[in-house]
């Protein structure tokens, strides 16, 4: 990581983040850093910057807890855009969700911060597209909750929106279930494969000594047979010699 972050341009970006300079200039520099003719170098820099930003984000979120609403939202927006530039969509979506929840929590005092059903629905679609099904489900629930809190007399005007959100939620729930089933299936297959491997190893351990014994017994029998044959040949030779001597 140290080598990937050693260039002057990268060092400048790190300094801006450490100084909490969350502005367009820092984002522009980040985009420049990720443009490289050397693919391997670009991948290494991207990976190192991703780890750095994730680490700094945890620190930043703790630091801005007591700051103004505008400051918190400004920092969250910067981090969302930075992770989008790097291509870390997991962190990007997590921070977008953090910003939406923060706004919702503050909307009791600042009504202009309230998150509308369209924002929740759009976020749910992005979360669903990127495989974050439980978060997509929660976003759909928040969108429906917003509509229920609204003037109930005008809900018929949002029938199409409600149906769209409900359908989206059903897809998210079904996808969550499918992933759960797939995960269980993969886990089951891995367990069966491990059991099969252990069984094969045990079988091999049992077969190997038996084979070794049979092999050694075969050698012993072969040697004994050879020895008997040699003894018989020697006996025949002695008998022949005795007969020849007698005839002389």
H helices present in the chain, as ranges: 8-18, 24-33, 39-63, 69-86, 89-106, 117-129, 133-149, 159-247
Question: What is the biggest distance separating any 2 CA atoms in the chain, rounded to whole angstroms?
Answer: 140
Percent of the chain with pLDDT over 90: 48
Mean pLDDT to the nearest integer, 62-85: 95
User: Would 173 be classed as within a structural domain?
Assistant: no
- Please tell me the total count of domains within the chain: 1
User: Would 199 be classed as within a structural domain?
Assistant: no
24 with 54: CB under 8 angstroms? no
User: What is the Cα–Cα distance from 132 to 9, expressed in whole angstroms?
Assistant: 34
User: Would 226 be classed as within a structural domain?
Assistant: no
User: Would 17 be classed as within a structural domain?
Assistant: yes
pLDDT, tens digit, 9 for 90 and up, residues 155-187: 666 788 889 999 999 999 998 876 555 555 445
129 with 110: CB under 8 angstroms? no
Contacts of 72 (CB under 8 A, 6+ apart): 64, 102
User: What is the Cα–Cα distance from 216 to 6, expressed in whole angstroms?
Assistant: 65
pLDDT, tens digit, 9 for 90 and up, residues 188-245: 556 656 766 666 655 545 434 444 444 455 545 555 665 666 566 556 555 554 554 4
- Nearest by Cα to 80 from 22, 128, 136: 22
Residue 82: which domain range?
1-112
User: What is the Cα–Cα distance from 177 to 134, expressed in whole angstroms?
Assistant: 10
Mean pLDDT for the chain overall: 79
User: Would 204 be classed as within a structural domain?
Assistant: no
Considering only CA atoms, give the Rg of the chain: 38
The pLDDT value recorded for residue 44 is 87
The pLDDT value recorded for residue 37 is 58
The pLDDT value recorded for residue 156 is 66
Query: Distance between terminal CA atoms of the chain?
Result: 101
User: Would 183 be classed as within a structural domain?
Assistant: no
User: Would 217 be classed as within a structural domain?
Assistant: no
Poorest-pLDDT segment among 10-14, 124-128, 145-149, 156-160: 156-160
User: Would 1 be classed as within a structural domain?
Assistant: yes
């Amino acid at each position: 990581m140290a080598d990937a972050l050693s260039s002057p341009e990268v060092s400048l970006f790190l300094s801006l983040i450490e100084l909490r300079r969350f502005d367009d200039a820092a984002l522009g520099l980040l985009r420049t850093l990720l443009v490289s003719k050397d693919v391997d170098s670009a991948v290494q820099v991207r990976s190192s910057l991703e780890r750095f930003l994730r680490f700094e984000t945890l620190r930043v979120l703790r630091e801005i807890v007591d700051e103004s609403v505008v400051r918190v939202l400004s920092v969250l927006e910067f981090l969302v855009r930075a992770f989008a530039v790097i291509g870390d969509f997991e962190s990007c979506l997590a921070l977008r969700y953090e910003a939406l929840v923060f706004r919702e929590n503050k909307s009791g005092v600042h009504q202009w911060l309230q998150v509308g059903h369209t924002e929740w629905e759009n976020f749910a679609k992005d979360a669903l597209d990127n495989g974050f099904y439980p978060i997509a489900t929660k976003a759909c629930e928040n969108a429906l909750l917003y509509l229920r809190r609204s003037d109930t007399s005008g809900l018929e005007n949002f029938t199409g929106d409600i149906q769209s959100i409900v359908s989206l939620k059903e897809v998210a729930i079904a996808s969550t279930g499918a992933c759960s089933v797939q995960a269980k299936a993969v886990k089951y297959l891995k367990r069966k494969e491990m059991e099969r491997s252990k069984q094969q190893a045990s079988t091999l351990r049992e077969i190997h000594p038996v084979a070794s014994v049979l092999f050694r017994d075969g050698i012993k029998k072969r040697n004994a047979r050879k020895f008997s044959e040699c003894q018989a040949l020697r006996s025949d030779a002695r008998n022949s010699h005795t007969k020849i001597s007698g005839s002389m």
